[in-house]
Amino acid sequence: MSYERPNIEAMQGYVSGEQPEDPGAIKLNTNENPYPPAPEVAKVIAGFSADTLRRYPPPTADEFRAVAATLHGVTRDHLIATRGGDELLRLVITTFVDPGASIGTTDPTYSLYKTLAAVQDCPVVSIPLEPEQWQLPQDFAAQMNAAGVKLTLLVNPHAPTGHLVNQDQLRELATDLEGLLLIDEAYVDFVDPRLNYNATTLIHDLDNVIILRTLSKGYSLAGLRFGYGIAPPNLIAPMLIKTRDSYNLDLLSQKIALAAISNQSYASDTWARVRSERSRMQTSLEGLGFLVGASETNFLLATVSAIHHNQTTAKELYHRLKSSGVFVRYFSDERLRDKLRITIGTPAENNQLLTALGSILGQDLG
């Protein structure tokens, strides 16, 4: 006899990206930052006193919240710190969406959304992005409203395509939506600063917008599990006071996260290096015959094009790269199965990927 709730019994679990055991593997499959965290992070760890663990940590990570709030030009009441962006998603769903109510997103999207919706027993309304450029369809908000969606989850810049929706469009979308809009900015640190993208300002004049941030990508701390949400205080308060685990963030994490966001110039230097490699890699992959869309993230989505068709499929390429020690991400979904999602690594890692691809495809890279 099963003791699981029927929706839990029926659901699939989230499948994480592969974690190769070989330390020499070139790991370009889970969008981690290729550069180490700020040197101050190592100093915090080295100077951490085990004795301080006797006591419970600050329950709402107030010091971190104060520094992050200043960074975003908001007050502490506009911010909640969470165990990765993933915990924020879980809190938003369990705080604002009744079991059985609909959650909306795009197709494709971050695959964890479906898992979290299933845990809350919520159906998911997936609206396909436009072909080719992956823009939102014109009637996206109207379709969400017609389906009675209570919460729309939008990755921006988008995963796995890299496409960025600008803040004017986001404002229009949030205004038109009858429910909440969560803008998942997991990859926002890699957006070209010349685009002047800043969606945080939306929370001042719209009462239905929540922004997700994480230290996993931009601050090279995927292993730490630290993220945060920015929203009007009336949306932050119920999560902060009622639905959050009483001590959701351990003391060491809070100190490390504080050191990382206090060192903006170090982090932004890694973002600039990733952007520079992103543009080199786009050109190089196009040179190998892939179709590569513009990306404002730390990855590229490369389509196996007509010129490769007699040689290989994306799935085969993924397997052959893996055999040569290079891990990229392959998705079997209908709209993604002819593509590979490739994280931007260090210049040396990127060169190893290009060499491996060149030899599999039998092309001289010159």
Ligand X SMILES: Cc1ncc(COP(=O)(O)O)c(C=O)c1O
Binding site for ligand X (CB under 6 A): 31, 84-86, 110, 155, 159, 184, 186, 214, 216, 222, 227
State the minimum distance, in angstroms, from the CB of residue 34 to ligand X: 15
State the minimum distance, in angstroms, from the CB of residue 158 to ligand X: 8
Q: By the 8 A CB rule, do 320 and 358 touch?
A: no
Say how far apart CA 255 and CA 106 lie, in whole Å: 36
Nearest to ligand X of 177, 183 (CB atom)? 183
Nearest to ligand X of 96, 288 (CB atom)? 96
State the minimum distance, in angstroms, from the CB of residue 218 to ligand X: 10
Say how far apart CA 177 and CA 4 lie, in whole Å: 34
State the minimum distance, in angstroms, from the CB of residue 157 to ligand X: 9
Q: Which long-range contacts (CB under 8 A, 24 or more apart) does 268-277 make?
A: 268/189, 270/33, 270/35, 270/218, 270/220, 271/189, 271/190, 271/218, 273/35, 274/33, 274/34, 274/35, 274/190, 274/298, 274/344, 275/190, 275/192, 277/344, 277/345, 277/346, 277/347, 277/350
* Closest to 150 measured CA to CA, from 107, 96, 186: 96
Nearest to ligand X of 36, 148 (CB atom)? 36
Nearest to ligand X of 113, 318 (CB atom)? 113
Say how far apart CA 255 and CA 43 lie, in whole Å: 11
State the minimum distance, in angstroms, from the CB of residue 160 to ligand X: 8
Nearest to ligand X of 188, 288 (CB atom)? 188
State the minimum distance, in angstroms, from the CB of residue 54 to ligand X: 28
Say how far apart CA 299 and CA 158 lie, in whole Å: 10
Nearest to ligand X of 217, 255 (CB atom)? 217
Give the strand pairing for 124-128 and 79-82: unpaired
Helix or strand (DSSP H, E) at 216: none
The strands making up 299-303's β-sheet, listed across from edge to edge, are: 291-292, 299-303, 339-343
State the minimum distance, in angstroms, from the CB of residue 214 to ligand X: 3
Instruction: Give phi and psi for 22, each to the nearest 5.
Output: -65, 115
Nearest to ligand X of 177, 182 (CB atom)? 182
The CB-nearest residue to ligand X is 84
